Each structure stands twice: as C-alpha cells, then as structure tokens.
Amino acid sequence: MAKKVKAVVIKGNNVKEKDKNILLFSLEEGKIWATLKGVRGDKAKLKYAKEPFCFGEFLLEEGKGSLVVTSVDILESFNELSQDVEKYFEGNALLEIVNTLSFESVNESYLVFVNLIKALKILAFHKTSECAVLLKFLLDIFEIYGIKLYSEKCTCCGAPFHDHIYLNYNVGELVCLQCQTFQSEEISKGEYAILKILSTNSYNKLPTIKYSNEIGLCLLKKLRKNFYQRFDKSLKFIGIIS
C-alpha cells in the first residue's frame, strides 16, 4: 500500500549501479529509509530528491525488502545552503543532530521536525550570526527532551545568579558557584547572554541577533559536550569545530 509523507532527506548511500538509499526524517513517521531507483542517472526524473536538505512530499510504496520512492513533490530544495560554504556546514550540523537522535514518542519526533524546518528556512534565506541557528536548534532539542538549559536561578539551590555561572554536565543544567562540581564548566557572561537571547526568542528573530562569533563558538563547544553527556552521541560538526 502506498503512503505519502512530508520529509527531509538527511543522508544517502549509493547502491547498485544507479540507485540510492535515502534516510528521510518525516513528520508522520519519524526517520525511515527508502530507495530511489535509477536516481543517479543523468536523466533521472527524481535526481533532485536524493540531495540532503530536500524537503517534500514523498510517495512511498512497498518494494522487495524496502520502501521505494515513486514520486516527490518538492516543497523546498534549500539549494541556497549548497551555495554558501558556511551555511552548508551549519546545515549539515543540523542534519547530523537529527541523525543521532532517537525518539521515544510521536510528540518528540514532531517537535524536532517542526524545529528543523524552521531552522533550515532561516539558515537558507537569511543572514544570521555565526552558528546562531545551530545554537538555537541545540537549545530547543535539549528542551524537547526535558532539559531547559537557560535559567535565571541555580537549578540546584534556587539562588539567583551573580558573578559565576556553571554548566553542570552531570545533569545538563546551570548551577551557581556554590553548587558547581568537578563535572561543571564555567559559562562566561557573554555565553550566558547568548543562551538567554536564543532561548527567549523565536527563529524569526535570529537575523536581528548579533554577538561575538568567538563567544558563540565557545558556547557551541560546551553545548556539544552537553549533548554527548545527555545522549551518549558525539557530534563532529565538520567545518565548524576543529
């Protein structure tokens, strides 16, 4: 029986002479693998659907051992991401995050999907501070999975923050000087300011948010480490973090 899903292409593997298996992240069913037949041929009708970032309505039918894509209505190709190297690396980082995630509920998958589309649209069609979209997406992922990183008070003792704020990697939350442990790392005032503004604003506001690229990159490294502690999955962020 055929079924139609709205999905984004996350990655793909070449198979046989001209086929390609693609990992789709769909609104309806989460992550699913499907095959594009003959898509690597020069005159293939669906060759545009094999590229990462491609967002569309995919018609899937049961094949021999796998789902087969029989048609695609492209909603957005996000070609702009492949035309700017910095946006390309940041976009791939978004897909890398989705690729590592496991979903325990339909709601988790739905929220991640919605945030991914928002993130890709802002990244592709607007100019933002370096890694702003990626930072925002990571913060949203933490919140979706029950860890709201930004807070105005120590999540351990409840005291308001003053001079020193730490990210406790053991629990993935912000704590004060008195509550920090050997598994904590200090968050600078600049990093905390970025956490606040990205956590309290929508994706549509990202083009108006400006901050130091150096500080943003330092925060990204800490969020990547926190992601590893939360999900036991390492993120490479090729082209962004050496």
> How confident is the model over 107-166, as pLDDT tens digits?
999 999 999 999 999 999 999 999 999 999 999 999 999 999 999 999 999 999 988 999
pLDDT above 80: residue 57: yes
Distance between CA 139 and CA 197 in Å, rounded?
11
The answer as to whether 98 is a domain residue is yes
Same domain, 106 and 57: no
Number of domains the chain contains: 2
> How confident is the model over 168-225, as pLDDT tens digits?
999 999 999 999 999 999 999 999 999 999 999 999 999 999 999 999 999 999 999 9
pLDDT above 90: residue 21: yes
Q: Which domain covers residue 203, as residue numbers?
A: 83-231
Please report, in angstroms and rounded to a whole number, the separation of the first and last CA atoms in the chain: 46
Q: Locate the DSSP E strands across 141-196.
A: 165-168, 173-176, 184-187
61, 77, 93 — which closes off a domain? 77
Same domain, 120 and 224: yes
pLDDT above 90: residue 17: no
Which of the four pLDDT bands, split at 50, 70 and 90, describes residue 16?
confident
Which of the four pLDDT bands, split at 50, 70 and 90, describes residue 50?
confident
The answer as to whether 241 is a domain residue is no
pLDDT above 90: residue 234: yes
Same domain, 176 and 222: yes
Average pLDDT, the chain: 94
CATH code of the domain containing 198: 1.20.1440
SS3 content of the chain, % helix, strand, coil (to 5): 40, 25, 35
Same domain, 146 and 201: yes
Closest Cα to residue 132, out of 99, 77, 94, 175? Answer: 94
pLDDT at 37: 86
Backbone angles phi, psi at 4, to 5 degrees: -115, 135
77, 92, 114 — which closes off a domain? 77
The answer as to whether 114 is a domain residue is yes
Query: How far lies 41's CA from each of 14, 36, 61, 126, 221, in Å?
Result: 12, 11, 21, 33, 40
Same domain, 69 and 90: no
The edge-to-edge listing of strands for the beta sheet with 165-168 is: 173-176, 165-168, 184-187
CB neighbour class for 160 (10 Å; exposed up to 12, middle 13-18, buried from 19): exposed
Alpha-carbon Rg for the chain, nearest whole angstrom, is 20
Does an H or E element contain 8, and which?
Answer: strand 3-15
